[in-house]
Amino acid sequence: MSVRVFNADDHPILRKGVTDLIVEAPGMTWVGSAETGREALDKIRQLQPDVAILDVEMPHLTGIEVAKQLIEEQVDTRFILLTLFKEEHLLKSALRIGIKGYLLKDSSEADIIAAITSVAKGQAYVNASLTHLLLNDGPDEDDPLQQLTEHERNILRLIAREKTTAEIANMLFLSPKTISNHRNNIGKKLGLSGEQNGLLKWALGRKNLLK
């Protein structure tokens, strides 16, 4: 029986690339795609695909938030995250809530097909380059990012890319005031003083932690 696959990504070129790969893959059927997290949530509820490939960073809801909500609703769909970030906390959080697959966006077509095939069978699949992150089972209590929500970490990554409050608001479909509030909360959680551009300096100095 053909594996029914859905994909969501806010980048049109990446979304089309994964869609085309699924369409051309033997034993797989592409059933739809979405551009935002909210759209993905609604469509997956409606289409009930076997496997859904979700970008981590999407407007309105992240891929993790979409998967977590649907897993809690006990949908039959199994989930694969597609991300740019090689972050231990993100990977372990995804696996902990029941997401079966974790792929980097530079994955080969063979990797993506293998992930879909494995996850459709109920097996976990993680990029080979990330398996070393699973060997460290204990939480890193010294990691300041542990204090932040996934949404706050996404905003911090954008700050590290030197995006302004207005640019971040536009990218995440939120108001500049909401982003400013998030920036203040992030600064407090990280123990930063009111130094001008303190959060930007902190993020720029720790880009390696935010990948």
Looking at residue 191, its pLDDT comes to 77
Q: What's the average pLDDT block by block, 10 residues per block, for the chain (211 residues)?
A: 92 91 94 93 94 88 88 91 74 80 86 92 78 50 67 87 90 90 86 74 71 57
CA dihedral angle for residue 55, residue 64, residue 144, residue 187, rounded to 10 degrees: 80
Looking at residue 147, its pLDDT comes to 74
CB distance 55 to 85 below 8 Å: no
Domains of the chain: 3-135 (3.40.50.2300), 144-210 (1.10.10.10)
Q: What is the pTM of this model?
A: 0.63
Tell me the angle at which helices 150-160 and 88-96 cross, rounded to the nearest 10 degrees. 160
Looking at residue 209, its pLDDT comes to 58
- Distances 63 to 6, 91, 143, 166, 191 between C-alpha atoms, Å: 13, 12, 23, 23, 28
Tell me the angle at which helices 37-47 and 63-72 cross, rounded to the nearest 10 degrees. 30
Looking at residue 58, its pLDDT comes to 85
Helix (H) or strand (E) holding 54: strand 51-55
Looking at residue 16, its pLDDT comes to 92
Looking at residue 135, its pLDDT comes to 47
**How far apart are the C-alpha atoms of 42 and 45, rounded to whole Å?**
5
Helix (H) or strand (E) holding 4: strand 3-8
